[in-house]
Chain A
Amino acid sequence: MLLQLNNISKWVQSGGQKIYLLKDINFWVHDGDFISIMGPSGSGKSTLLNVIGMLDDFNEGEYTFLDESVHKLKEKHRANLYKQYIGFVFQSYHLIDELTVRENLEMPLLYKKQSSSERRALVADMLDRFNIVGKKDLFPSQLSGGQQQLVGIARALIANPKLILADEPTGNLNSKQGEEIMEIFKELNNEGVTIIQVTHSEKNAAYGSRVINLLDGSIQ
């Protein structure tokens, strides 16, 4: 088991009332899963993803990640945990505009204190794997949306995470680009990477092995 959520709830106070963002979520992920989280706007999909990614706190419940009780961990430990095991992919790519493709890929490695030859090797691998060697010296603004998302995924993968969290990774792309990205996710999954994606599209959800439907913060 990679991670497990038990009775997770998250709420905000508004006008003396609790408004539930997440309510009683029970949820587990095995190594090698490809899970799609679906639901209408405001159903709590992104919140759930943020909780899993340890970017957000929750008010109630237990969260176990690789046998560590996340809810008991200090902020610093939690940060180390996600830095080590989780890669993020975003709808709007979130590349650093001032860095070239190669430098964007290299960036996470810099914080892992790897030697420059190691870094070069890993970056070259990634460029090769995603077929973007020719684009390595371009800046994000010089790439199409699909290409930017490719870089985004490559960057998420470069530190060799166990889990990829993708928040509507095809949301800003046209259908053809979207399909290509989903194919890549599928391939990655086949290679053993665990993936959790949030999506609106039934078609994209179909790539996953399991679909979780959220409505008003609860799993249906």
Chain B
Amino acid sequence: MNIHELKVIVRSLLKKKFMTSTKIIGLIVGYTIFIFLAEKIQHETSYDTFWKDSESIYRVGLDVQYENGKEVKSAKNFGGSSELLAKEFEGVLTQCNIGRDVVTIFNGPKQKIQNVDFVWSDPTFFSVFDRNIISSESGLLLENIHGVAISQSFAKKLFGNKNPLGKELTVNEGWKFVVDTVFEDIPGNSHMKIDVIGTFKTLFYYMRNFDNKNQVLVENPAYQYLKATPYETQRWQTPVEYRSYCYIKLDDNTSITTIEANLKNALKKVALPENLKTAEMNFIFQPLANIHLKSKLDHELSVNGDQRQVLFLSMIIIVVLLVCLINFVNLNTISTIENAKNYSIRILNGSRYIQVLRLLCIESVVFNIVALAVAITIAYYLVDSQLSINGISSFTYLILSVIVVSITALASIVPFLSVVKNKAFSVIKGGKQKLQQKWTSQKVMVTLQFSVTIVLIICTTGIYTQMQYMMDKELGFNGKQTLYSFTPMTMNQHPELSSKLTTFRNEVSALSGITSFSVSSSIPGKSINRLNNQVTELGEPRPYPVTFNQISIDNQFLKTYDISLIAGMNFASQNDWNSDEVLINETALSKMNITKASDAIGKYISIGKKNYQIRGIVEDYHHVSLHNPVTPTIYAQNINWDHSVGYYSFQLNSNAIGETMDQVSRIWNNLYPKEEFIFNFSNAAFEAQYLQDQKFNQILSYATVLALLISCIGLLGVALFNTKKRIKEIGIRKVNGAKINQILVMLNIDFIKWVVVAYVIACPIAWYALNKWLENFAYQTNLGIWIYLIAGFGALGIALLTVSWQSFIAANRNPVEALRNE
């Protein structure tokens, strides 16, 4: 490359500002989308691949087909399962169980961290999940009965730069632990989010020896952690709620299929309980790296990704790149045709063809370098802010460089072949510019671009409609004037729990701004963690073949959230916050095979070993997002639920929210001085469930707008070229009496034809993609034909506007100017 060539290129680019900027913008947009989506896809597919020997770690899920036909496929399993495998199979190197807990951690009187991911596990945890141990107090991992292991970043959050080892932290109601070990953070792309790890041994020790009344641990040196072997019945009786996530690690020579094949024999050695003996029981072995995208079991550890979404994004990447490539090659060909004169002059003055190709190549390279620099800068920022990924992976760079090289090559060779080689002299010989007559390929490419764009428009509109539908759908409850807070964690299991709660309720209810106050184990928008598959009609030997959700509420819950009863009565006010009556919802009613709601009132059901009388039937409402159908639910009135998280809800009657909540806060601080009062809007909790969908829709919307932009740029280029080519024709027609509007119609009709073809191609593809996506939702909106019409007319309108701009200028020219060249 010499200075001369570079100079010409830069000057001509600066001269043709419009063409140059359209080309560059097209490339920048394409490359930015590519980098961003490539990073997103890599992030999604990289889940749990970072562990050492990740491919030989499996999660052992549970698949049970009970005698009554009910099948449960759960990510959780009996604690004995992985231990049994480790004992029975030599190839299983090690195993561990994980039980998840969400806790509040206190560090002294001042600092409080909510929503901490706390897991109970075995001392073998780190032998399965290899992490660098950054520092350890005892040298023996998780051996200290008071010790916990915390992650590096959590240590920093709690203790700053001070040495965390030996420091104390307090969990929930006052369990005090000592930081024994600090481990390397588990990256964000894992299905496990863990801040703190404690052992099951510690858990049982504290449960047994913690004095709730005085909030102190009564040390018991004689304590021995006796765990039943995996062959004993009691290890296989744990209710779903308390089961663990079980993991095994195989040695290099063992394949999971041998274990699968011999599982039945191993299970025969176990004294299984009656309900499992008659059932068909199987383990689901999931390679660690498959969990995030492929696992769709019940009771997952965290919200998993979706393979379909990854597929969708990959398709968008290909489509956007294709559009971007077509566009650049197209525009480059057009500007090369326009520049044909210059190339001819060069050839007449001694240039060889290869030197022309080189010139075109350098030009493409210049475009790509500028576009890449801008795109990488933008993408770097986007990836950081949207995906919290720092830096762009070398894999992305590798693919990107392949793409850039191919685009550069194509964008110099195609124009070179189609224009320079064949038409070099026609420009010079005739003394006037003859533009290429055949340009079907350009039109076909623009049509393709438009098909893709229309598909994106239809999908985005469809997804937006579904989102809107979910936002507007009558959910069966009202959280508009309602705020919630977590229950005070320091009061868990505390003897004064109910008396303090009663005081709190009485004082809060007396406030003029509060219309009702309720305490419950879950609120709409928050998942129901309590499940029960042992609900029995009184006197029946077998439980209903359904897993019921359980929520603990009080007599104000229905009022606070405006939920209706269709039969029976609400709970009566109870001072001890307990009753042996329950409410059930409509879905539960139908699962119990009762058709008439009033028939159920007064019936008895037994849950576990206790009997409850059905007092009322709650109208179905959507407790969780519309992704899920309404589940059969039992509402009980008791305050000592096993899960520690609970919610206070406040329904307000006025707009003076700040003032009212200040008053509530004062009451709270008097009663629960150890904890800060933090509240949120209940509506926000519900809407937070759609965050994933909204993010996806957002990505798609951006991609759509940008693809539309690139397509329009492409169309504009072709329109520009088309009108230039037909300037003489337009002049002649005008001289012969054609009106401006007739010229416009003539110029535009051609493009309308191609947009219609694009539309016909796009519709079925969009229809298919959209329906695939809607399968994600239990409740789907009706996508009317209007979505397709809007997309069609929208694309047509935008295409016409783009084209007409050029057509109008061409049609309004003085024909004398156009014909003067002759």
**Measuring CB to CB, which residues of chain A are less than 8 angstroms from any residue of chain B?**
46, 50, 55-56, 83, 88, 90-92, 94-99, 103, 106-108, 110-112, 155, 159, 167
**Whole-angstrom distance from the CB of B276 to the nearest CB of chain A?**
83
**Whole-angstrom distance from the CB of A138 to the nearest CB of chain B?**
13
A–B Cβ pairs within 8 angstroms, 24 of them: A50-B429, A55-B429, A56-B429, A88-B348, A88-B428, A90-B431, A91-B431, A94-B341, A96-B8, A96-B345, A96-B346, A97-B12, A97-B342, A98-B8, A98-B12, A99-B8, A103-B4, A103-B7, A103-B8, A107-B4, A108-B349, A111-B346, A112-B350, A159-B349
**Whole-angstrom distance from the CB of B820 to the nearest CB of chain A?**
12
Q: Are B349 and A155 in contact (CB under 8 A)?
A: yes
- Contacting A at CB under 8 A, from B298-355, are 341-342, 344-346, 348-352, 355
Seed contacts A50-B429, A98-B7, A112-B350; 19 additional CB < 8 Å A-B pairs: A55-B425, A55-B428, A83-B350, A90-B431, A91-B431, A94-B344, A94-B428, A95-B345, A96-B8, A96-B342, A97-B342, A98-B11, A98-B342, A106-B4, A107-B349, A110-B4, A111-B349, A111-B352, A155-B349
Complex CA–CA separation, A98 to B363 (angstroms)? 14
Instruction: Tell yes or no: B609 within 8 A of A by CB.
Output: no
Complex CA–CA separation, A167 to B429 (angstroms)? 10
**Identity of the chain B residue whose Cβ is nearest the Cβ of A49 in the assembled complex:** B429
Asked if A46 meets B348 with Cβ closer than 8 Å, knowing A94-B341, A96-B342, A98-B8, the reply is: no
Question: A111: which B residues are within 8 A, CB to CB?
Answer: 346, 349-352, 355
Instruction: Tell yes or no: B2 within 8 A of A by CB.
Output: yes
**Identity of the chain A residue whose Cβ is nearest the Cβ of B342 in the assembled complex:** A96
Q: Are B350 and A159 in contact (CB under 8 A)?
A: yes
Instruction: Tell yes or no: B772 within 8 A of A by CB.
Output: no
- Contacting A at CB under 8 A, from B1-58, are 2, 4, 7-8, 11-12, 15
Complex CA–CA separation, A179 to B344 (angstroms)? 28
Question: B429: which A residues are within 8 A, CB to CB?
Answer: 46, 50, 55-56
**Identity of the chain B residue whose Cβ is nearest the Cβ of A56 in the assembled complex:** B429
**Whole-angstrom distance from the CB of B278 to the nearest CB of chain A?**
87
**Identity of the chain A residue whose Cβ is nearest the Cβ of B8 in the assembled complex:** A98
Of the residues A98, A155, A167, contact of B431 by C-beta under 8 Å: A167
Complex CA–CA separation, A88 to B427 (angstroms)? 14
**Whole-angstrom distance from the CB of A8 to the nearest CB of chain B?**
17
**Identity of the chain B residue whose Cβ is nearest the Cβ of A106 in the assembled complex:** B4
Question: B12: which A residues are within 8 A, CB to CB?
Answer: 97-98
The residue among B12, B425, B429 with the most chain A CB atoms within 10 A of its own CB is: B429
User: What's the dominant secondary structure at chain B's contact region?
Assistant: helix
Complex CA–CA separation, A167 to B425 (angstroms)? 15
**Whole-angstrom distance from the CB of B817 to the nearest CB of chain A?**
16
**Whole-angstrom distance from the CB of A173 to the nearest CB of chain B?**
15
**Identity of the chain A residue whose Cβ is nearest the Cβ of B16 in the assembled complex:** A98
Q: Are B11 and A110 in contact (CB under 8 A)?
A: no
**Whole-angstrom distance from the CB of B1 to the nearest CB of chain A?**
12
Complex CA–CA separation, A90 to B344 (angstroms)? 12
Complex CA–CA separation, A97 to B8 (angstroms)? 9
Question: B351: which A residues are within 8 A, CB to CB?
Answer: 111
**Identity of the chain B residue whose Cβ is nearest the Cβ of A80 in the assembled complex:** B350
**Whole-angstrom distance from the CB of A55 to the nearest CB of chain B?**
5
Question: A103: which B residues are within 8 A, CB to CB?
Answer: 4, 7-8
Complex CA–CA separation, A92 to B341 (angstroms)? 11
Complex CA–CA separation, A50 to B425 (angstroms)? 10
Question: B8: which A residues are within 8 A, CB to CB?
Answer: 96, 98-99, 103
**Whole-angstrom distance from the CB of A25 to the nearest CB of chain B?**
17
Question: A95: which B residues are within 8 A, CB to CB?
Answer: 345
Asked if A94 meets B345 with Cβ closer than 8 Å, knowing A108-B350, A111-B351, A112-B350, the reply is: yes
Closest 5 CB pairs of A and B: A111-B350, A108-B349, A98-B11, A83-B350, A98-B12
**Identity of the chain A residue whose Cβ is nearest the Cβ of B9 in the assembled complex:** A98
Of the residues B15, B341, B346, B428, contact of A107 by C-beta under 8 Å: B346
Q: Are A92 and B15 in contact (CB under 8 A)?
A: no
**Whole-angstrom distance from the CB of A18 to the nearest CB of chain B?**
21
Complex CA–CA separation, A112 to B351 (angstroms)? 8
Q: Are A97 and B431 in contact (CB under 8 A)?
A: no
Question: B346: which A residues are within 8 A, CB to CB?
Answer: 96, 107, 111
Question: B342: which A residues are within 8 A, CB to CB?
Answer: 96-98
**Whole-angstrom distance from the CB of B123 to the nearest CB of chain A?**
75
**Identity of the chain B residue whose Cβ is nearest the Cβ of A167 in the assembled complex:** B431
Complex CA–CA separation, A99 to B345 (angstroms)? 12
Complex CA–CA separation, A56 to B430 (angstroms)? 11
Complex CA–CA separation, A167 to B12 (angstroms)? 27
Q: Are B15 and A98 in contact (CB under 8 A)?
A: yes
Of the residues B2, B355, B425, B431, contact of A92 by C-beta under 8 Å: B431
**Identity of the chain B residue whose Cβ is nearest the Cβ of A139 in the assembled complex:** B11
**Identity of the chain A residue whose Cβ is nearest the Cβ of B350 in the assembled complex:** A111
**Identity of the chain A residue whose Cβ is nearest the Cβ of B432 in the assembled complex:** A92
Complex CA–CA separation, A95 to B8 (angstroms)? 13
**Identity of the chain B residue whose Cβ is nearest the Cβ of A112 in the assembled complex:** B350
Question: B425: which A residues are within 8 A, CB to CB?
Answer: 55
Question: B341: which A residues are within 8 A, CB to CB?
Answer: 94
Question: B352: which A residues are within 8 A, CB to CB?
Answer: 111
Question: A107: which B residues are within 8 A, CB to CB?
Answer: 4, 346, 349
Question: A112: which B residues are within 8 A, CB to CB?
Answer: 350
**Identity of the chain A residue whose Cβ is nearest the Cβ of B352 in the assembled complex:** A111
Complex CA–CA separation, A167 to B432 (angstroms)? 13
Question: B355: which A residues are within 8 A, CB to CB?
Answer: 111
Complex CA–CA separation, A135 to B9 (angstroms)? 22
The residue among A83, A106, A112, A167 with the most chain B CB atoms within 10 A of its own CB is: A83
The residue among B348, B351, B352, B425 with the most chain A CB atoms within 10 A of its own CB is: B348
Question: A99: which B residues are within 8 A, CB to CB?
Answer: 7-8, 11
Question: A92: which B residues are within 8 A, CB to CB?
Answer: 431
Complex CA–CA separation, A155 to B11 (angstroms)? 20
Question: A97: which B residues are within 8 A, CB to CB?
Answer: 12, 15, 342
**Identity of the chain A residue whose Cβ is nearest the Cβ of B425 in the assembled complex:** A55
**Identity of the chain B residue whose Cβ is nearest the Cβ of A84 in the assembled complex:** B350
Complex CA–CA separation, A55 to B352 (angstroms)? 15
**Whole-angstrom distance from the CB of B483 to the nearest CB of chain A?**
67
Question: B7: which A residues are within 8 A, CB to CB?
Answer: 98-99, 103
**Identity of the chain A residue whose Cβ is nearest the Cβ of B2 in the assembled complex:** A110
Q: Are B428 and A90 in contact (CB under 8 A)?
A: yes
**Whole-angstrom distance from the CB of B568 to the nearest CB of chain A?**
87
The residue among A98, A107, A159 with the most chain B CB atoms within 10 A of its own CB is: A98
**Whole-angstrom distance from the CB of B336 to the nearest CB of chain A?**
14
Question: A167: which B residues are within 8 A, CB to CB?
Answer: 431
Question: B345: which A residues are within 8 A, CB to CB?
Answer: 94-96
Question: A110: which B residues are within 8 A, CB to CB?
Answer: 2, 4
**Whole-angstrom distance from the CB of A48 to the nearest CB of chain B?**
12
**Whole-angstrom distance from the CB of A168 to the nearest CB of chain B?**
8
Question: B431: which A residues are within 8 A, CB to CB?
Answer: 46, 90-92, 167
**Identity of the chain A residue whose Cβ is nearest the Cβ of B13 in the assembled complex:** A98
Question: B2: which A residues are within 8 A, CB to CB?
Answer: 110
Complex CA–CA separation, A112 to B349 (angstroms)? 9
Question: B350: which A residues are within 8 A, CB to CB?
Answer: 83, 108, 111-112, 159
Complex CA–CA separation, A167 to B428 (angstroms)? 11
Question: A91: which B residues are within 8 A, CB to CB?
Answer: 431
Complex CA–CA separation, A91 to B12 (angstroms)? 23
Complex CA–CA separation, A91 to B25 (angstroms)? 38
Complex CA–CA separation, A66 to B519 (angstroms)? 107
**Identity of the chain A residue whose Cβ is nearest the Cβ of B821 in the assembled complex:** A92
**Identity of the chain B residue whose Cβ is nearest the Cβ of A95 in the assembled complex:** B345
Mark B596-627 against chain A: 1 for CB-CB distance below 8 A, else 0.
Answer: 00000000000000000000000000000000
Complex CA–CA separation, A94 to B339 (angstroms)? 12
Complex CA–CA separation, A107 to B428 (angstroms)? 17
Complex CA–CA separation, A99 to B431 (angstroms)? 20
Complex CA–CA separation, A96 to B12 (angstroms)? 10
Complex CA–CA separation, A94 to B428 (angstroms)? 8
The residue among A46, A50, A94, A112 with the most chain B CB atoms within 10 A of its own CB is: A94
Complex CA–CA separation, A204 to B2 (angstroms)? 41
**Identity of the chain A residue whose Cβ is nearest the Cβ of B11 in the assembled complex:** A98
**Whole-angstrom distance from the CB of A50 to the nearest CB of chain B?**
5
